[in-house]
Amino acid sequence: MRSRGEGRAAALMLSPTFLVLALVVLYPLLSALRESFYDSGQRLDADGFVVEGEWFAGLANYAGVTGERFLNAAANTTLFTVVTVAVEVVLGVAMALVMRRALRGRAFLRAGILVPWAVPTAVAGLMWKWIFQADGVANALLGTEILWTADGPWAKLAVVVADVWKTAPFVGLLVLAGLQIIPADVYEAARVDGAARWQTFWRITLPLVRPALLVAVLFRLMDALRVFDLPYVLVGPRKQSVETLSGLIWDEATRVHYGPASAYGTALFLYIAVIAFAFVKLLGADLLSDVRQRKEARNVA
């Protein structure tokens, strides 16, 4: 009887959330899906009159998906995602290993490491744009004369550097939290058995920190695949070398090309969904582990 009361209370407490999500997620999703099959504006009808409105366009909007601009944006997005997430994981793990041992200065380090995370992405973009100016400090330190923020291959690197700076410390924090729940006696045992340092790292630390790491990677993947503001601010909108899928969709939407924008948006959504699904299936990043544990506990009982 109490359980039914809880069910009713739960429904009541969740209904505002469902309302909000229906408005800001479900409605746009369905609307974009519909929009992606429609065309709008003016055209001539069978009698030669100009009519204004919307009509079914089939897959016409999706034609752009095989176009050069879309494929370029998809390639940029994918390259950006793979490179930044890989570098951020390596750097993040390294930072976490250092911070775990830090006793003195730990609070300072932890506050410092939150600074890149706290700097708004748009501001980080401007900051790196300034650093990467032709006569800026990056070129001065490197002794180079590279045009980092002009449209070209160096711009890709500039965007990657800026993103890695901003997010590697965040990955480090998540990994550090994962490291801290590894019991000390595991290391004690390894030490007694005479395990070398790298053995301890590969055989103990990495497997035990894996769940926390996988969740961090999943969140980073999802974020990187939809990146928009960093290339927009650092290099600029409509720049071929750094245009991402989100950038392309935004550009089409602001030019009132709603049909293609929706088609590209749907494609991006599917891309992200497939990656997330494959990631969870293949690597078993278990976001609902707690739920599962409880279920198992109940089954055992």
Partner 1 sequence: MWRRAAMIGIAVYCLVPFYWMVVSSFRRTADIHAKTPFPSPWSLESYEAVFAPDMGFGGALLNSLIVAATTTAVTLLVGTLAAYALARLTFRGRNAVLALVIAVSMFPGALLIVPLLKLFTAIGWIDSYQAMIVPSMSFALPLTIWNLTTFFKQLPYDLEQAAMIDGCTPFAAFRRVMLPLAAPGVFTTAILAFIATWNEFIIAVTMINDQSRQTATVRIAQFTGAARFDTPFGTQMAAGVLVTVPLVVLVLLFQRRIVAGLTAGALK
Stretch that binds partner 1, among 42-50, 57-65, 108-116, 194-202 (CB under 8 A): 108-116
**Residues numbered 121-150 forming contacts with partner 1, rule: CB under 8 A:** 121-123, 125-128, 130-131, 133, 135, 137, 140
Find the DSSP H helices in the chain: 2-21, 27-35, 68-101, 106-118, 121-131, 137-142, 153-180, 184-192, 197-200, 206-225, 229-234, 245-254, 258-283, 289-300
Does 82 help bind partner 1 (rule: CB under 8 A)?
Answer: no
We find the least distance from the C-beta atom of residue 11 to partner 1, in angstroms, to be: 7
Q: Tokens 């590209």 identify what position? A: 264
We find the least distance from the C-beta atom of residue 258 to partner 1, in angstroms, to be: 6
Stretch that binds partner 1, among 10-18, 41-49, 63-71, 194-202 (CB under 8 A): 10-18
Q: Which of 65/253 has CB closer to partner 1?
A: 253
**Residues numbered 32-71 forming contacts with partner 1, rule: CB under 8 A:** 32, 35
Q: For residue 208, what is the enclosing H or E element? A: helix 206-225
**Residues numbered 251-280 forming contacts with partner 1, rule: CB under 8 A:** 253-254, 258, 261-262, 265-266, 268-269, 272, 276
Residue 201 is encoded by which pair of tokens?
């790292």
Q: What is the three-class DSSP state of 278?
A: helix
Query: What is the number of other CB atoms lying within 10 angstroms of the CB of residue 110?
Result: 15
Torsion of CA 162, 164, 165, 171, to 10 degrees: 150
Does 9 help bind partner 1 (rule: CB under 8 A)?
Answer: yes
Q: Which of 64/178 has CB closer to partner 1?
A: 178
Does 291 help bind partner 1 (rule: CB under 8 A)?
Answer: yes
Q: What is the three-class DSSP state of 38?
A: strand
